């Protein structure tokens, strides 16, 4: 069962992981997250990044290490991961990797209510989704290809491999669902239960 965390935002986990490498200021964290492609898996804004760093500081997981002054840039505070922060990072990662967590994707909600659409509309919309999934899968494949060309170690590409695997699984699922919605037995069932009064 998921543990209640002092700072539960997954951006906080990502920030702590970045700080394992070295202390840095939030602007540098944001630059590295983008550079490492983490912005495709963790959504954030500049303000949310600063807010999470402050939450981590209040929780004792990061500490202000120094303030850097540069004539061309505003003053910046460099943060370092504390020993308590490192323990929290390790504990949280162990939980996320080992224990499946219930997720509530929007598509799952849409599927649970799919019968409110006519079978023809559902098939048309699912075909559009299938096209979009194909484009996303192509993008993920391209990211993996570029990473391989640049000799990026595989461990730094696993989130793209996971994304591609999930997209391919959803493509298979949606293809099968489209076929099922076209079957005469579903069309009869929908007419009987879901078409409503004429």
Any domain includes 144: yes
Task: Work out the percent of the chain whose per-residue pLDDT is above 90.
Answer: 66
Question: Model pTM greater than 0.85?
Answer: no
In this structure, the answer to whether residues 113 and 92 fall within a common structural domain is: no
Of 98, 127, 154, the position where a domain reaches its end is 98
Q: What is the CATH number of the domain that holds 45?
A: 1.10.10.10
127-139: average pLDDT? 97
CA 32 to chain CA centroid, nearest Å: 17
Overall number of domains in the chain: 2
* 23 and 87 assigned to the same domain: yes
- Using pLDDT thresholds of 50, 70 and 90, give the confidence band for residue 76: confident
Whether residues 89 and 113 share a domain: the answer is: no
Residues 148, 81 share a domain: no
Beta bridge partners of 70: 73
* 165 and 130 assigned to the same domain: yes
Any domain includes 24? yes
Interval 123-142 mean pLDDT: 96
Are the C-beta atoms of 137 and 167 separated by less than 8 Å? yes
Are 139 and 116 in a shared domain?
Answer: yes
Question: Measuring CA to CA, which residue among 77, 73, 72, 62 is closest to residue 11?
Answer: 62
Whether residues 57 and 120 fall in one domain: no
Q: What average pLDDT does the segment 61-90 reach? A: 88
Q: Does the residue 4 lie in any domain?
A: no
Q: Answer whether residue 150 is part of any domain.
A: yes
Contact in structure between 26 and 79 (CB atoms under 8 Å)? yes
Q: Could you tell me if residue 71 is inside a domain?
A: yes
Q: At what angle do helices 119-149 and 158-181 cross, to 10 degrees?
A: 160
**24 CB contacts (<8 Å, ≥6 apart)?**
18, 32, 78, 79
Domain assignment of residue 87, given as a range: 10-98
For residues 10 and 42, give the distance between their C-alpha atoms in angstroms, rounded to a whole number.
Answer: 7
Answer yes or no: do 51 and 77 share one domain: yes
In a domain, 157, yes or no: yes
Examine the fold and report which residue of 65, 98, 131 is the final residue of a domain before the chain moves on: 98
- Given a contact cutoff of 8 angstroms between Cβ atoms, the answer to whether 18 and 62 are in contact is no
Distance CA 25, CA 27 (A): 6
Q: Tell whether 165 is covered by a domain.
A: yes
| Tens-digit pLDDT profile for residues 90-127 | 999 999 999 988 888 899 999 999 999 999 999 999 99
Contact at 8 Å (CB) between 29 and 80? Answer: no
Q: DSSP string of 72-109? A: TEEEEEEEEE-HHHHHHHHHHHHHHHHS------HHHH
């Amino acid at each position: 069962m998921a543990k209640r965390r002092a700072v539960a935002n997954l951006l906080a986990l990502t920030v702590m992981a970045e700080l394992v490498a070295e202390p840095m200021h939030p602007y540098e964290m944001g630059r590295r997250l983008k550079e490492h492609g983490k912005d495709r898996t963790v959504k954030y804004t500049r303000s949310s990044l600063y807010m999470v760093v402050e939450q981590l500081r209040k929780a004792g997981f990061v500490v202000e290490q120094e303030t850097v002054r540069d004539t061309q840039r505003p003053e910046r505070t460099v943060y370092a991961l504390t020993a308590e922060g490192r323990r929290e990072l390790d504990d949280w990662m162990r939980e996320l990797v080992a224990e499946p967590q219930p997720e509530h994707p929007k598509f799952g909600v849409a599927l649970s209510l799919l019968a409110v659409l006519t079978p023809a509309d559902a098939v048309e919309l699912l075909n559009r989704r299938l096209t979009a999934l194909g484009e996303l899968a192509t993008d993920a494949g391209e990211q993996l290809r570029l990473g391989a060309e640049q000799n990026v170690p595989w461990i730094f590409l696993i989130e793209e491999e996971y994304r591609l695997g999930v997209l391919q699984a959803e493509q298979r699922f949606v293809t099968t669902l489209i076929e099922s919605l076209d079957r005469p037995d579903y069309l009869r069932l929908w007419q009987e239960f879901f078409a409503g009064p004429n």
